[in-house]
Amino acid sequence: MSTISVREALAKTTEILAEDPAKAKSAGSAVTAVLEGGVACRIPGPVGELRTDMLPTMGGRTSTPSPGWLLQTALAFCTATVVAMHATQLGISLTSWR
């Protein structure tokens, strides 16, 4: 999506939410973790699933990333997305960010 269309989408969403703040509430379904044995878990999602496991010292097999790593990843994705959205609203084109 181009910077202009991101800016236009954000402007439209801002306008809609300003007119009706109740629309800001998520209508998404609840997330449910399925314990698969030991400390390994699976969470079905809208486009696949996420799996977690722990280190052997915590009773896991390190077969997948740990829940803590996924939490850090989610926070990094959220932060990067908000920065990119705000930069777009200000007319700043970001090419990369670390």
Could you tell me which residues are beta bridge partners of residue 43?
Answer: 50
Residue-level pLDDT at 18: 95
Structure tokens at 90: 């200000």
Residue 53 or 29, more confident: 53
pTM recorded for the entire structure:
0.75
Q: For the chain, how far is it from start to end, CA to CA, in angstroms?
A: 21
Instruction: Summarize pLDDT for 13-45 with one digit per residue, the tens.
Output: 999 999 999 988 877 778 999 999 999 999 999
Residue-level pLDDT at 3: 67
Residue-level pLDDT at 1: 59
Let me know if domain 3-22+29-89 sits in CATH 3.30.420.40. Answer: no
Residue 66 has pLDDT above 70, yes or no: yes
Q: What percent of the chain has pLDDT over 70?
A: 96
**Residue ranges per domain, the chain?**
3-22+29-89
Calculate the alpha carbon distances from 16 to 1, 19, 64, 78, 83 in Å.
21, 5, 40, 22, 21
Q: Note whether 67 and 52 are within 8 A (CB).
A: yes
